[in-house]
Structure 1
Amino acid sequence: MGTPLEALPTVSVPAIEQLLPTINLPPAKTITILNTKAEYHVIALLTWNDQEDLILRIAGPHVPRTKTENEVAVITWLQRNTKIPVPAVVHHDSSTDNPLGCEYVLQKRLKGQSLDLVWPSLTEDEKLKIYDFMVEVLRELTSHEWKHIASLRLTAEGEIVPGPVLDERFWEARDIEKYFPPGETVESLNPLGPYSSYVEFSIARLEKSMHAIRKHESLAFMRPHLPLLEDFIEALREDSKKLNRTNLCLAHRDLHMGNIMYDVEGHTVTGILDWEFSVVMPVQQGELSRAFMHDLVDDGGWGERKGKMLEVLRERSQEEGGGDVVERFGYVSEDQEEMQEVVDLVRAIVEVSPRGQREGERMGWRDEVLEILEGWMD
């Protein structure tokens, strides 16, 4: 399996120099293509003498148009509707018809360093202040009403409307061509939506996984269980009123410390980066189910540290009188949690089997799915 990094474009300083006059910017004093790359972007720092530094994020061809358009729309929505600090967009292009030959987003540079770099050196009081900030972020993200599970996009008139669902784990065109027989597409293998409810989205995810099971020989071991999955989908439809008890929220979905900028001198968070895969989701699948506040220390102890962090968030949110913010992200019933577990496990099986990965775990995941399904059908 290739990684997103392998598909990143080669970008030159002269190409960036050619871009600037086309978007009414003067020649930059310095242009530095950074060695550190995001998985889906090449990053360049542009400086001038008399204006703010800018960050140019040049996208690879992983998810044409949608990812760039979503990030710009999400940042625009956040600026219009919340107090969450984000890097303002100066210019963007979701086409490749420009001197770079790539999609890009040009943003103002946020002051400070990523939080993972400074977290170990912060005092307890400084850390508590950051927890308070994150409590407010979670409250902001869960306090707005949404009607669709979707990404966002901007119309030509500046209106923010639903777009297709995005996920870093979706099958990209380059991997579909490598791992699937001819005829399969991004649309045939991924749930794109938008979707109007939790159950509708869950069923769509299952149906796309079931399609892959029918098409790929590495998934033949799941085919005998397709009728049981079909019965499960029917049960979800019948119980949809109960299972749909959720709120929808905009979720960053990769809110680790590397995406949180912190100013050591000012003792404050200056902004949150990388909203490219953010989507409106059921709260149960929002921030706390992913990389929220991950410190990027790969020592096997993150689970314990995350548990402690969530407890601090609970305490800080309750002390402020706004209720337990962590509780907002919980499942409302065992059935709802099991619905999500089946969806996630089947997706995991479909994700790794065509790539020849996790052979020792696939059967265990299948058995977990069957145990839940058999309990539902009793």
Structure 2
Amino acid sequence: MQFFTGRAMGQVTVHGIDPHSYTSGRWLRNDDHERHIRRIDFDFDELCRKVLGLFDGAKYIRNCEKKEGGFNRVFIFTLDDDSRAVARLPFTFAGPAKLTTASEVATIQYLQRNTSIPIPKILDWSDDAMNCVGSEYIVMEHVSGVQLHQKWPYMSGDQKVKCIDAIYRKLKEVTDIDFPAYGSLYFSTSPLRSFATLPIEGGFCLGPHCGTRYWNCGDGRYYNHGVPNHGPYSRVHDAAVPTLFHPDLHKRNIFVSDDDPTIITGIVDWQSSSIEPAFWYADEIPDFATCSSSSASSAPSVDDDLCTKAYEICTQFLTPRLARPRLMNEGLFRLFRYCYRTWKDGAVAFRHELIETSKDWEDLGLSDSCPFPLPDPEDADLHQKEYRRFEAAQNLKCDLSNLLDSASDGWVPPEGWEASKIENMAMFKGMLKAVKENKDPDDDEPIRNEGDLRDIWPFDLPEED
């Protein structure tokens, strides 16, 4: 089989592409581990043969481009007849094996049958990592048009408003669908083992939630202490109406016409889509509706204000299920947003929300008495100290990420990794000097010595001398 320049297959790298290793960035924290869990050992030759076999008349693959996201590796193939296909392979931590791929395929086909949202056609897929490719995969047609983020800087304010309106007119079709419970979509014929399911018309069913927060997907959570409930879950309240929505609605996942960027040609990446309480999506503001200034201190532009207002109006009138919870007291939802993160954030943040909910119980309009009693003064003082430390850690991570131009988990592009490591150390030494020079810290100061600073520092540091 010919590939690129006709060279033999089977090499570790093909025409400059390493199909197995993660090469798109490095991490300032746990770099070896982060790259290791993103390695995929599979048969790249077989994947190429799979793709080539999907197009009658194509004789060889002319080009292949590798892209990597947070949860997947993507290969964009161009064949000799100019056909294009996208193959996506999930990392092991993208979600529960089999279920994540099976649910995404079912969700896409469900939406293609029940809405007019433009989603590329699935050409081939497998949720069995023991297949001949050696990995779960989905092969799709390449979406037409260009990514919205490429066009956005050159669009007029009116074009941006029309584009936002077009996006939400499409997504209205999704949010208007009624579901009987929360969970993830599957084909009714999917082998879901002992998981409970609820039938949905058209050959689909609601089954276990495939979101990573419900599974031990390689990050060492607490699930060994008990059997988690994977759903599906019954509806509990009108404000929590079961709603399906896109899990990552941002400019990179939206494609528009190259000639007219107000025309939506595709919305991609429906991985981990699920039916959630409506409030779950209420605070997820997409990047096309937020300030685009390069500096946090810069004032929002006229276009920024226009886009924010357009987003608010579109959600209010086109997707009211998403807008309604935003008008309610957020205290009703805080516990649900933070309780599942205790494995990562610790118990302090969740305890704080319990305390605040208990204080506001009557103002929230909740009946009976709060089942969580307020702590006594001594415990309350201890909690405040721990919470100030938690806040200091979160603020430090945010500030460092901005200063180092990294993601919150320490990801940086490979060309900036060495410089970011050096700057990370310089910043630590500078802060440590300031801590040591503060001979009389306030009683409520959470960082009082080198040990405290090291404990909350979010990125890797050398051992203490």
State TM-score, norm by structure 2. Answer: 0.59
- SS of equivalent to 1:45: strand
Q: What is the distance in 2 between the residues matched to 1:332 and 1:33?
A: 41
Out of 232, 244, 254, the residue aligned to residue 194 of structure 1 is 232
The aligned residue for residue 351 of structure 2 is 366
Report deviation, 1:262. Answer: 2.0
Alpha-carbon distance between aligned partners in 1 of 2:90 and 2:219, rounded to the nearest angstrom:
17
Matched residue, 2:270 = 275
Please say if 1:40 is aligned against 2:33: no
Structure 2 Cα separation of the partners of residues 159 and 79 of structure 1: 14
- 1:9 Cα deviation after fit: 0.8
Which residue matches 1:312?
310
Match of 1:228?
Answer: none
Kept in 2: contact 1:251–1:280 (CA 8 A): yes
**In structure 2, C-alpha distance between the alignment counterparts of 1:67 and 1:265, rounded to whole Å:** 35
Structure with higher Rg: it is 2
Alignment map for 1:131-170 (pairs within 5 Å):
131-156=164-189, 159-170=203-214
Mapped pair 1:346 → 2:346 = no
Runs of 5+ consecutive residues of structure 1 not aligned to the other structure: 200-242, 354-361
Structure 1 residues 45 and 328: alpha-carbon distance in aligned structure 2, compared to 1, 3 A threshold? closer
Distance in 1, matches of 2:111 and 2:344, equals 32
Could you list the per-position Cα deviations for residues 156-183 of structure 1 after superposition, in whole angstroms to 9, with x for gaps in the alignment? 397111121132444434223xx558x4
Letter in 1 for 2:230: L
Equivalent position SS for 2:325: coil
Q: Does 1:73 find its partner at 2:66?
A: no
TM-score (norm 1): 0.71
Which structure has the higher relative contact order (CA within 8 Å, separation 6+)? Answer: 1
The residue number in structure 2 matching 1:220 is: none
- Which of 113, 121, 126 is residue 88 of structure 1 equivalent to? 121
Contact 1:86–1:272 (Cα < 8 Å) also in 2: yes
1:280, CA displacement in angstroms?
Answer: 1.1
Kindly indicate whether residue 248 of structure 2 is the aligned counterpart of residue 254 of structure 1. yes
Q: Deviations over 1:78-112 (max 9, x none)?
A: 11010111111111000013222000000000123
Shift of 1:365: 4.9
After superposition, the CA RMSD in angstroms is 3.4
| CA separation of 1:299 and 1:4: change in aligned 2, threshold 3 A | farther
Unaligned ranges ≥5, structure 2? 1-29, 191-201, 362-368, 371-465
- The answer for the alignment partner of 2:418 in structure 1 is none
Structure 1 counterpart of 2:61, from 24, 29, 33 = 29
TM-superposed deviation, 1:246: 4.1
CA separation of 1:57 and 1:324: change in aligned 2, threshold 3 A: closer
Corresponding position of 1:225: none
Alpha-carbon deviation of 1:299?
A: 5.1
1 CA distance for matches of 2:243 and 2:185? 12
Could you report, residue by residue, the CA deviation over 1:135-156 in whole angstroms, capped at 9, with x for unpaired residues?
A: 2033212211111111111133
Structure 1's 18 and 148: CA in aligned 2 closer, same or farther, altered over 3 A? same
Q: Which structure shows the higher helix fraction? A: 1
Secondary structure of the corresponding residue to residue 312 of structure 1: helix
- Which range moves more in the overlay, 252-261 or 151-160? 151-160
Partner of 2:401: none
Specify the code of the residue in structure 2 equivalent to 1:276: Q
Q: Percent identity?
A: 20
Map 1:1-20; keep pairs closer than 5 Å: 3=34, 6-11=37-42, 13-20=44-51
Change (3 A) 1:333 1:6: same
- Length, aligned pairs only: 313
> Which among 91, 101, 104 is matched to residue 60 of structure 1?
91
